[in-house]
């Protein structure tokens, strides 16, 4: 693709990034910094929730394996009686 053709291609991500940067540049710097910090904190909170859910998923799987092993032991003990 020729360079002139590439300059006219539309990229939604590039457009969104440029729009956000333009908006932040328009605001007073402390306000822009506060908005970015707030957004980062929000995403960190979401990540913490996801990380905790992953831990719970692992715990549920571990508990299910232990329950399966107990059931097998009980069946073995019942078969011996």
- The pLDDT tens digits for 46-60 are 999 999 999 999 999
> For residue 8, is pLDDT > 70?
no
76 within domain boundaries: yes
The answer to whether position 16 is within a domain reads no
Asked if residue 4 is part of any domain, the answer here is no
Domain extent for 40: 29-81
pLDDT at 79: 76
Total count of domains within the chain: 1
> What is the torsion angle, in degrees rounded to the nearest 10, for the CA atoms of residue 43, residue 46, residue 47 and residue 49?
160
pTM comes to 0.61
CA gap 80, 74 in Å, rounded: 10
Decide if 70 is inside a domain: yes
Q: Per the domain annotation, does 6 fall within a domain? A: no
Q: Flag whether 39 is in a domain.
A: yes
């Amino acid at each position: 693709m020729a360079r002139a053709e590439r300059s006219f291609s539309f990229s939604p991500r590039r457009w969104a990034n440029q729009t956000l940067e333009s908006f932040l540049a328009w605001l007073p710097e402390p306000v822009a910094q506060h908005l970015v910090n707030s957004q980062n904190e929000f995403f960190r909170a979401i990540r913490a929730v996801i990380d905790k859910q992953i831990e719970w998923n692992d715990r549920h799987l571990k508990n299910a394996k232990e329950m399966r092993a107990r059931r097998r032991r009980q069946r073995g003990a019942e078969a011996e009686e």
